[in-house]
């Protein structure tokens, strides 16, 4: 395709990106659950688009948003972001996003902090990035740090569908943060972790369990971590509903 495109690389890239966007609007926008082959097609086409036009920013935004949260293809998302970081040398946003992925999805805090500092060296970068990098080095407040990152993503996002997806994730993470702090208060008061949400209700640590905006249910796992049955994805709930219907047949 690259050889065929020649001097029309940008036009071909635009055409291919429209196809990929239609995939997003068709399956993901309707809360359907894409299969593995769908996501592989999605990534391959975005990889091709960004090979044809590595300065085209929209494919990087769309690819990162979908390949991380929905497809769980963190390595592939980071390949795209690394390409963006190398091509768009004036743009601080992509090393910032790569730093977030390293920290939140892969638990690689040191590498994440290094990408934040790399982003800080570029024009227009947030002045708080060195402070945020220091928090990644020394702080284990993963959820609150993630909210800080995602709020930045939300403010910068131009695609309304992706922006709405970020808003829902921020809402869910804020509720998880509230529950995590409640678990800490319970442990400080009783010297043990709560077995479930009901225990925190009974002992007055929380007044109610917030609703997961994805339609799932918040719970406490065996390690005392706050989780949700939705796994922060609408597709999870849709898949669970389909599986339940199949069992009834």
Res 203: pLDDT? 97
Report DSSP letters for 21-68, one per residue.
Answer: HHHIIIIITTT----HHHHHHHHHHHHHHHHH-TT--HHHHHHHHHHH
Res 237: pLDDT? 66
Using CA atoms, how far apart are residues 132 and 139, in angstroms rounded to an integer? 10
Res 8: pLDDT? 79
Name the 3-class secondary structure at 233.
Answer: coil
Res 224: pLDDT? 94
Global pTM exceeds 0.85: no
Name the 3-class secondary structure at 219.
Answer: strand
Average pLDDT for runs of 10 along the chain of length 249: 63 90 71 84 96 95 92 97 98 96 93 95 92 80 88 85 89 96 98 97 97 96 94 74 68
């Amino acid at each position: 395709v690259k050889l065929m495109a020649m001097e029309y690389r940008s036009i071909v890239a635009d055409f291919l990106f429209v196809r990929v966007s239609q995939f997003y609007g068709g399956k993901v926008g309707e809360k359907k659950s894409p299969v593995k082959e769908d996501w592989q097609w999605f990534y391959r086409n975005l990889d091709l688009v960004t090979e044809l036009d590595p300065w085209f920013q929209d494919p990087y935004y769309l690819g990162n948003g979908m390949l991380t949260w929905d497809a769980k293809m963190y390595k592939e998302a980071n390949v795209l972001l690394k390409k963006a970081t190398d091509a768009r040398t004036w743009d601080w946003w992509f090393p910032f996003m790569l730093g977030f992925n390293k920290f939140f999805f892969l638990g690689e805090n040191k590498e994440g902090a290094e990408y934040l500092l790399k982003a800080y060296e570029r024009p227009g970068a947030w002045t708080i990035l060195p402070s945020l990098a220091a928090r990644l080095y020394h702080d284990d407040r993963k959820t609150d740090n993630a909210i800080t990152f995602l709020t930045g993503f939300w403010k910068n996002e131009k695609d309304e569908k992706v922006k709405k997806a970020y808003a829902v994730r921020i809402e869910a993470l804020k509720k998880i943060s509230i529950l995590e702090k409640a678990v800490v208060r319970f442990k400080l008061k009783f010297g043990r972790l709560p077995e479930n949400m009901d225990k925190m209700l009974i002992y007055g640590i929380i007044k109610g369990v917030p609703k997961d905006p994805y339609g799932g249910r918040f719970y406490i796992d065996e390690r005392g971590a706050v989780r949700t049955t939705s796994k922060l994805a609408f597709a999870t709930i849709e898949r669970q509903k389909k599986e339940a219907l199949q069992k009834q047949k």
